[in-house]
Amino acid sequence: MDSPSEQKKLFNFTESKAYKEIYKERSILEIDYVPESLVGRDKQIQSIAEIYYPLGDKEKPKNTLIYGPPGSGKTVTIRHILNRLCSELPDVNIRDIIIPCGEHNTIVKILIFLIKGLGYEKDLPLRGVASGFFYDLFYELLRQKDYSLTLIFDEIDKIKDDSIIYNLIRAEEFKEVNGRQYIHIIGISNTDQFINSLGPIVASFFQPDTIVFPPYNEKQIIDILNNRIPLAFCPNAINKKIIELCAQLAADEGGDARRAILLLQAAGDMAIKTECNRVQSGHVPMAVDKINKDVSYRFVSNMSYGEKLVTLALIKTEKYLKPDKFVITGNVYKVYVDMCKKANIKPTSLGALSQKITKFNMMGILNATVTSRGRGGQTSEIIFINNPDFIEEAIYQDCKFVRYYNYVPNVK
């Protein structure tokens, strides 16, 4: 055994020769980095800026819903505009909190996030306390401030109870805030269906303006990458071919610029892992596999038992259905019921299963297209956007699902 002085450093990632030859500033490729200029979003920047024009008359900005496919620049554009609002109008009497609704999706979780965002540092009870306690504390803290709030609900469609939108919008009317204070809401969603999912009373009070973000095209993605590369990578670490390959892959997958940036980062990491002093073409497919695996594990980790079972039924149906057949909701439900019997558990209804499939569709894991079957009513034709093998592998990490490893459904 080597003595401590002779041991090779275990955590020498950033000190390695390859790292120093690849990266200049790796954080430029992180998801929370906000560039000084944005590619192909001039129209959207102007539209979002106009939301805040009422501030000139000390009036409340308009509630707004921003939607577009994943990676179309919605969140980074909001962050960019808020940064400019603070720098160009430093005396403006409004602050912002961005709420990641994928993680904070219940009333209590959202309110705790907001309370912490207002600087509350004491421990909060997580159980046995009604939501009214958190509402009261949030409003009390806000009344102590001399500013109003813009609340940005990122992935707003993941909120489980839309009554929180109703309550926050009406905070002024209910005298929960000081005289000139208000709460302004911006929702960010991957689809335009969120507004249709709101209850009629909530929708009536929300009444947002809408701003649409189209997907990026390949040329725009190349420009986005070229803007970041000189800041993130050392000279000659990335060549034009790598940039075009990452842009093409991202454009083919719905114009997701964020995925292209993650691909570059993962490819750079793979170059370091293989002790290369520059990124090679072969590092890109390695990066694709790593990202797909990471996304799948993250997706599955947030699932309930029932959602995992439905997802596995989807995967098994797709895997064993004849190649010329579409996966439809009815097929999946039969497989799901059979799997429930094997585990001796009660299956949920077909309607509840369809709702889960709709949720997965909104999360960008699969495409579920509603089609008419004549007298048979409507169903969904389902296609996974990416190879589901990594999702299946992640599900099997939960020991309760190992029983299905060799399960072959009876599908035609």
> Which pLDDT tens digit goes with each residue over 62-107?
999 999 998 999 999 999 999 999 899 888 889 999 999 988 999 9
Side-chain half-sphere of 143: how many Cα atoms within 13 Å? 13
Please determine, for residue 144, whether its predicted confidence score (pLDDT) is greater than 80.
yes
Inter-CA distances, 210 with 182, 186, 188, 197, 234, Å: 20, 10, 10, 15, 41
Instruction: Name 84's Cβ contacts closer than 8 Å, sequence gap at least 6.
Output: none
pLDDT at residue 159, rounded to an integer: 93
Mean pLDDT confidence for 38-52 = 96
Take residue 58 and report the two structure tokens written for it: 């000390």
At 303-351, the pLDDT tens digits run 899 999 999 999 999 999 887 778 889 899 999 999 999 999 999 999 9
Q: What angle do CA 171, 202, 100 make, to 5 degrees?
A: 75
Predicted local confidence at residue 9, as pLDDT: 62
Q: pLDDT value at position 13?
A: 53
Give CA–CA dist 225/216, Å, rounded.
Answer: 12
pLDDT tens-digit readout, 256-315: 999 999 999 999 999 999 999 999 999 999 999 998 888 888 889 888 999 999 999 999
Query: Which residues are paired to 372 by β-bridges?
Result: 378
Looking up tokens 């929180």, which residue turns up?
164
Structural domains in the chain plus CATH codes: 42-212 (3.40.50.300), 216-299 (1.10.8.60), 303-404 (1.10.10.10)
- What residues does 380 pair with on adjacent strands? 370
Higher per-residue pLDDT: 399 or 295: 399
What pLDDT band is residue 363 in, cutting at 50, 70 and 90?
confident
Residue 3 reports pLDDT greater than 70: no
Q: Which pLDDT belongs to residue 299?
A: 83
Look at the pTM and tell me if it is higher than 0.85. no
Q: What does the block give as tokens for 209?
A: 């303006």
Q: Please say if the pLDDT value at position 140 is more than 90.
A: yes
At 382 the pLDDT is: 86
Task: Give me the pLDDT at residue 92, please.
Answer: 87
Query: Quick one: pLDDT at residue 15?
Result: 56
Model confidence at 54: pLDDT above 70: yes
Handedness of CA 351, 354, 358, 363 (dihedral sign): positive
Contact indicator for 379, 328 with CB cutoff of 8 Å: yes
pLDDT at 244 over 60: yes
For residue 335, the model assigns a pLDDT of 96
**298 vs 380, more confident:** 298
Cα–Cα distance between 44 and 63 in angstroms, integer? 15
| Mean of pLDDT over the chain | 90
Position 197 confidence tier, pLDDT thresholds 50, 70, 90: confident
DSSP reduced 3-state for 257: helix
Geometric angle at alpha carbon 220, from 296 and 98, rounded to 5°: 55
Nearest to 108 by CA among 99, 119, 121: 99
pLDDT greater than 80 at residue 364 = no
pLDDT given at position 316: 95
